[in-house]
Amino acid sequence: MNINIVKNSFLKTLLYCILALQSAVIFFPLFLMTISSLKASREIFKNPFALPSAVNLKNYIKLFINQDYELYFLNSIVISLSAILMILVCTSLASYALGKYRFRGNKQIFFFFLIGLMIPIRLGTINIMQMFLKLNLFNNLLSLIIVYTAMGIPAGILIFTGFIREIPEELSDAARIDGYGETKIFLQVIVPLLSPAIVVVAVYNLMPIWNDFWFPLILINKESLMPIPLATARLFGKHETDYGLLFSILTAAALPPIVLFLTLSRYFIKGLTAGAIKG
């Protein structure tokens, strides 16, 4: 008995040590980025791992007053929120049909969507650019929203369909007896039970959309429409780069996803680990 207790304590201590090490590996770059944003470029290279000699907010003042970065933040927010909203609407409706109704070709359609997880969308960059040029959507935020919606649909279908298939059919049958139509059943019965899946899909798609550099580089060359990653790339000068300003941009850009994840982490973890809706 004592041997088992010692063994369990050792395994638990080992697990905590591994988790602590992993947390340090994740948080150290964030810490280094934050303290570097409070230094001048000379101090960054002189003492890269030391705390700033004095708290210096000049980089942030320069960022939002001289560089007009609030416009780029607004562009990123509009693109991300619009794309995530479209992903949630499209994938939840499609998953409801795939998860609750059995029809010919159901499995084939589901597999067709999953192929999108296996084939990188960047392989179609030339065709995507040609399509948006013909539609007169080049240099238009709508083009990025459409691309990011398409990127997020396969994973959304996979997550939502799994959750919807675990919802007891008796709930829908009871709603039909009460006179509910299919639309009302979906909105008032199914959607409230999908809250963990909604958070998982939203958080899962936020990071690749928020951080994407490739498609803005291809589809946007108008400065007033640039999102944060593309606008940040302009700071790398040919002969000189203001690294203090660069780190302040990276720190400010990292805050929205971090705050969102911390706010929704309870639901995100529940959605990842539940595996089923418990009634």
Asked if residue 49 is part of any domain, the answer here is: no
| Euclidean distance between CA atoms 68 and 225, whole angstroms | 12
What's the pLDDT tens digit per position in 101-113? 888 888 898 998 8
Asked if residue 144 is part of any domain, the answer here is: yes
Asked if residue 28 is part of any domain, the answer here is: no
Instruction: Give me the half-sphere count of Cα atoms (radius 13 Å) on the Cβ side of residue 170.
Output: 2
What is the pLDDT of the chain when averaged over all its residues? 85
Structural domain of 169: 58-274
Which of 62-71, 233-242, 249-258 is predicted with the least confidence, judged by mean pLDDT? 233-242
For the cut 60, the answer to whether the pLDDT of residue 230 exceeds it is yes
In this prediction, residue 270 carries a pLDDT of 63
Asked if residue 37 is part of any domain, the answer here is: no
Asked if residue 24 is part of any domain, the answer here is: no
Asked if residue 39 is part of any domain, the answer here is: no
Is this structure's pTM higher than 0.75? Answer: yes
For the cut 60, the answer to whether the pLDDT of residue 137 exceeds it is yes
The tokens 């007053």 sit on which residue? Answer: 65
For the cut 70, the answer to whether the pLDDT of residue 268 exceeds it is no
For the cut 60, the answer to whether the pLDDT of residue 166 exceeds it is yes
In this prediction, residue 185 carries a pLDDT of 87
In this prediction, residue 142 carries a pLDDT of 95
Helices (H), the chain: 2-36, 41-46, 58-61, 69-100, 106-118, 125-134, 141-165, 169-177, 182-185, 191-193, 195-211, 214-219, 228-233, 243-274
Asked if residue 12 is part of any domain, the answer here is: no
CATH number at residue 78: 1.10.3720.10
| Euclidean distance between CA atoms 39 and 140, whole angstroms | 36
| Euclidean distance between CA atoms 107 and 161, whole angstroms | 12
In this prediction, residue 66 carries a pLDDT of 67
In this prediction, residue 244 carries a pLDDT of 83
In this prediction, residue 217 carries a pLDDT of 92
Total domains present in the chain? 1
Burial group, residue 147, by CB count within 10 angstroms (0-12, 13-18, 19+) = buried
For the cut 60, the answer to whether the pLDDT of residue 197 exceeds it is yes
In this prediction, residue 237 carries a pLDDT of 63
Asked if residue 156 is part of any domain, the answer here is: yes
Which of 108-112, 143-147, 198-202, 265-269 is predicted with the least confidence, judged by mean pLDDT? 265-269
Closest alpha carbon to 157 in 208, 98, 207: 98
